[in-house]
Amino acid sequence: MKKPSFARFMRIILTLLGSAIGGGLCALVIRIYLMFDSTRELETLSIILICAGVTLLFALFSWFLAPRITRSVERFVGAMEVSLSETPLAQLLSSAVGLVLGLSIAALATQMFRFSVPEMFFVSISAFVYLLLGYLGASIGFKRWREVPLIGSGKQSRAERKIVSGLPVGKILDTSVIIDGRIFDILKTGFVEGPLIAPQFVLAELRHIADSSDPLRRNRGRRGLDVLSRIQRELDVAVHITDADFPDVAEVDVKLLKLAKQTGGSIVTNDFNLNKVADVTGVKVLNINDLAGALRPVLLPGEEMTVLILREGKEVGQGVGYLEDGTMIVVDHGKRHIGETVDVVVTTVLQTSAGRMIFTRIKQAA
């Protein structure tokens, strides 16, 4: 006998659930109809036929919609499982405590208006309050877990910060930040201190990129290895090469997150996606792109500056130049000054998702 699959089981459950919802909604609509139109009555047979028809309609709708719902549920559960597996246990416990407290407050709050509103509206209001306060409690507990006594700062948190396999608490270098190269100059200034940790799986990825058949990737990989070598040779910063690895994990980013959790260290990167995932999982990240953005000069409308116009802009008559940090300068009526260094006046500063754009006009001679 063939065992029923999960999809078939879910289809039956969803069909029964849909028929129950249809029958309940039909009975509720008929009850409201009779409540507001008491002069009209419906025969029992008519009510049974109407409810049976609506129930059958909802059951058919649920039957055909069940496979799509099942696939969506499986994807959602899979994504949740991956996310929760990377979340510290203390953070999950804090979220659960917040959920329980939120539901407890909701239970007390709903009792205040239990007898002051009709039963029909009380059920709807109660459901809304329970969902709202439960979500708020779980969300606050998830985000503020480090501040919860005996959870965020207890024995477990201290254990996470212990040295793993003789590895000190330091800053773990990501592949992208080594290839980028700016980490060398930042370390040279002394604004970021060591010790630095370079895992073997990051070095293996660098070597793989350096051996690529694509010339661009090969040059990037070799530059990353050169940057790491220069840090070891020229800077007074301790660099630890660790063999710590997670064979059950394939992705380098996930390995970095696991290593950071175990050592209590922070990840140095310029990878936007890794930055977001680390924020969710509670790992500290130093993003050098954020540092570069914070150090850009602040320009206000009316300020004057000197710019070399390099090329024509998109609009008619515009010229385009750049600041040293790569910020685009658009000069109105600057097309005829391409190749010249001119004095301009800032008119507008536009911040976009791709960076800043500064619109200027040529300064008029006094």
Backbone φ and ψ for 2, nearest 5 degrees, come out as -75, 130
What residues contact residue 263 under an 8 Å CB cut-off, 6+ apart? 161, 163, 164, 167, 168, 169, 170, 172, 197
CA–CA distance, 321 with 209 (Å, rounded to integer) = 33
Evaluate whether 247 touches 204 at the Cβ level (below 8 Å).
no
CA–CA distance, 276 with 268 (Å, rounded to integer) = 13
Q: Where in the chain is the domain with CATH 3.40.50.1010?
A: 163-294
pLDDT > 70: what percent of the chain? 81
What residues contact residue 246 under an 8 Å CB cut-off, 6+ apart? 254, 255, 258, 259
Query: Does the pLDDT value for residue 266 go beyond 70?
Result: yes
β-bridge partners, 269: 287
β-bridge partners, 320: 311, 330
> What pLDDT score does 2 carry?
47
**Consecutive H or E run containing 220:** helix 215-234
CATH of domain 304-362: 2.40.50.110
> What pLDDT score does 86 carry?
59
How many CA within 13 A on the CB side of residue 68? 5
Residues counted in the chain: 366
Q: Where in the chain is the domain with CATH 2.40.50.110?
A: 304-362
Query: Does the pLDDT value for residue 5 go beyond 60?
Result: yes
Q: Pick the closest to residue 227 from 274, 173, 190 (CA basis).
A: 173
pLDDT in tens, 131-167: 888 888 888 887 776 666 655 544 444 434 444 545 6
CA–CA distance, 59 with 13 (Å, rounded to integer) = 10
CATH superfamily, with its number, for domain 163-294: 5'-nuclease (3.40.50.1010)
For residue 363, the 8-state DSSP code is: P
For residue 146, the 8-state DSSP code is: G
CA–CA distance, 278 with 81 (Å, rounded to integer) = 16
Backbone φ and ψ for 319, nearest 5 degrees, come out as -120, 155
β-bridge partners, 308: 341
> What pLDDT score does 61 carry?
87
* N-terminal to C-terminal alpha carbon distance within the chain: 95
Q: Pick the closest to residue 15 from 67, 53, 51, 77 (CA basis).
A: 67
Q: Is residue 209 exposed (0-12), middle (13-18) or buried (19+ Cβ within 10 Å)?
A: buried
**DSSP letters of 266-291?**
EEEE--HHHHHHHHHHT--EEEHHHH
pTM, two decimals, is 0.44
pLDDT in tens, 72-110: 877 777 766 666 665 667 777 888 888 889 888 888 888
